[in-house]
A = this chain, B = another copy of it.
Amino acid sequence: MTSHTHAVRIYDTTLRDGTQGEGISFSVTDKLLIAERLDQFGVDYIEGGFPGSNPRDITFFQEARSLRLKHARLAAFGSTRRAGVKASDDLQLRTLLDSGMPVMTIVGKTWTLHVTDILQTSLEENLSMIEDSAAWLTAQGREVIYDAEHFFDGYKTNPDYALRTLAAALKGGASVLTLCDTNGGTLVDEFKTIAARVVAEFGPERVGVHCHNDSGLAVALSLAGVEAGATLVQGTVNGYGERTGNADLVAILPNLLLKMHRSAHCAPKLAELRELSLYFDELANLRPNTKAPYVGASAFAHKGGLHANAARKIKSSYEHIDPALVGNRTRVLVSDMAGRSSIAMKARELGFDFDEKAPAMRKLIEELKELEFRGYEFEAADASLKLLLAKHLGRRSKYFDVESYRVIVERSKDELVAEATVKITANGQSCHTVAEGTGPVGALDQALRLALEPVYPQLKDVSLSDYKVRILDSRQHANARTRVLIETTDGRQHWGTVGVSDNIIDASWEALRDAVDYALMRHEQKL
């Protein structure tokens, strides 16, 4: 029986190591939602936090006890006991135990330099610290996972001692020995050779890996660990983590399952991978990485005329996997590099029957190039693109004329007011409305709705669901060209519109108008 027959266990540390990432912060509620989502996805272990380090993690573990998880085991993270103290007397280990979690992951020192210079203790005492800590926690009925910090650096300095630290953890009852490339500096070949040496010594079922992306190799290192025989992989969703991030489970999983043909408990949920990734970004309040392998919005996007054409002919030629396997899809990008065939493909994707040879096509391409040159981007604004296509096909309806709008923001000491007025003509009726909002765009949106709803009551269900701003040439200072993307919903569907201007209010106004036009055309089933 070779190591290749072992299933790979997935150990998620998004809630602990992931929160060390710059700009990553989760509330206790976020953490509970994340733990449930990871369990649904089929992850094997969920490391929830470091109860010794901060009160938020202690609260999380208190609340986590009432979670009803289907499969995942929750782990609390801590370190080995201090030097010269009994494990049972170590405050940090007691706090760890008090988390009440079934799994305790403890980190210990491998690198002799760290033992002598940071812990300032002897090499022998460090071995006892590892063994005692594991043994005491095991005696309390917990599964202990041992994280060997700086394992690769330690091994390169003193391989015998590095292996002895692992043996100590095993003697203390640890179920898994995780080899951590803590500073992310190891290259693939060396990593694999060292991991294989550990697997030969302790057996594949005992060995895990934990990698960081400092050399741009975290995914490759994790896979090399599995090739070497390791059967547990630690990582974070979307590669969140300190510095350049932890190993990204979202990239590792499809490589393991689809290409290396390994098994894992979460395999049946692979088609939810993109959704999982987006959910985490939403909770972390990060803009999704469009270039993320497998799940990014661009991962199966085709831009060049050549490729777009070939992709249509032989889809597999430019797609290494079927995007549906990870919940993603093929996209055709509209850009000034795209020829007629790409635009026609995109038009068909949007439901238009667009003749590639029609003269309207040339005019459309000209306007698209002009708009893209000015900073418009339709990749997240399909509704604005559809309105443009409808215009060139002579199918765009006009629902209202704008005479003027005005926005005022005024602060006087502690009082802050945003007010908008809108003057439009709709269906022959002149409407002049005023509204307040927390900010200028909210006020403007409100005033436009007040003006239109009496004439078009179908807009009552329509509301803004997302608002994004991108400064296009920020070096042009405060008058920089600004692109606003607005997402609107009628409760069932969402659509995106875009506006660009040197004036952020006017860019928002343009996107708001498109959003309303699109809602009205859709309601009449003209789009």
Contact yes or no, B299 A479, CB < 8 A: no
Task: Check if A53 sits within 8 Å of B305, measured CB to CB.
Answer: yes
Query: What CA separation (Å) do A321 and B185 show in the bound complex?
Result: 8
State the CA gap A220–B242 with chains docked (Å): 21
Question: A89: CB under 8 A from chain B?
Answer: no
The answer on a CB contact under 8 Å between B412 and A503 is no
**1/0 contact string of A377-416 vs chain B (CB within 8 Å):** 1010000000000000000000000111111111111001
The answer for the CA separation of A450 and B291 in the assembled complex, in Å, is 45
With an 8 A cutoff between CB atoms, is A303 at the interface? yes
Is the CB–CB distance between B404 and A412 below 8 Å? yes
Contact check, B439 vs A478: say whether CB atoms are below 8 A apart: yes
A219 contact from B183, B217, B306, B404, Cβ within 8 A = B217
Number of interface residues of A (CB under 8 A): 126
A361 proximal to B (CB < 8 A): no
Residue of A292, A314, A474, A482 with highest tally of chain B CB at under 10 A: A474
Question: Does A527 touch B at the CB level, under 8 Å?
Answer: no
Tell me, in angstroms, the Cα distance from A367 to B252 when the chains sit together: 40
Q: A114-B314, A413-B403, A473-B285 are in contact. Are A299 and B215 (CB under 8 A)?
A: no
| CB 8 Å contact bits of A480-496 with B (1 = contact, 0 = none) | 10100010000000000
Q: Does A304 contact B (CB under 8 A)?
A: yes
Say yes or no: A482-B182 contact (C-beta < 8 A), given A242-B302, A260-B187, A466-B477. Answer: no
Instruction: Tell whether, in the assembled complex, residue B188 and residue A223 are in contact, meaning their CB atoms are under 8 Å apart.
Output: yes
Partner of A408, one of B305, B318, B406, B468: B406
A187, A298, A505 pick with most chain B CB within 10 angstroms = A505
For the complex, would chain A's binding face be called helix, strand, loop or mixed by DSSP majority? mixed
Known A-B contacts A409-B407, A439-B502; the reply to A317 vs B187 at CB < 8 A is no
Q: Does A54 have its Cβ within 8 Å of any Cβ on chain B?
A: yes
Interchain CB contact under 8 A, A477 and B502: no
Given contacts A188-B188, A502-B439, contact A337 B214 (CB under 8 A): no
| A187-227 with Cβ < 8 A to chain B | 187-189, 213-217, 219-220, 223-224, 227
- A216, A291, A467 pick with most chain B CB within 10 angstroms: A216
For A244, give its contact among B21, B298, B305, B477 (CB under 8 Å): B298
Smallest Cβ-Cβ distance to A313: which chain B residue: B118
Contact indicator A406/B409 (Cβ below 8 Å): yes
Chain B residue at minimum C-beta to C-beta distance from A473 = B285
Cα of A319 to Cα of B473 in the assembled complex, Å: 34
- Flag if B215 contacts A217 (CB, 8 Å): no
Query: Chain B residue with minimal CB distance to A307?
Result: B242
Q: Does A437 contact B (CB under 8 A)?
A: yes
**Max chain B C-beta neighbours (<10 A), residue from A242, A307, A469, A503:** A503
Which among A3-11, A349-357, A440-448 touches the partner chain?
Answer: A440-448
A-B contact pairs, 14 of them (CB 8 A): A22-B298, A183-B317, A183-B319, A187-B260, A188-B188, A217-B223, A217-B255, A408-B408, A438-B502, A438-B503, A441-B504, A464-B477, A468-B471, A469-B504
Given contacts A215-B255, A215-B293, 15 further A-B contacts (CB under 8 A): A22-B298, A23-B379, A114-B310, A117-B314, A183-B320, A185-B320, A187-B255, A214-B294, A215-B251, A217-B223, A242-B307, A244-B296, A409-B505, A439-B478, A504-B504
Interface pairs A-B: 10 shortest CB-CB: A185-B320, A220-B220, A216-B251, A442-B479, A216-B293, A438-B479, A216-B219, A439-B503, A404-B412, A442-B478
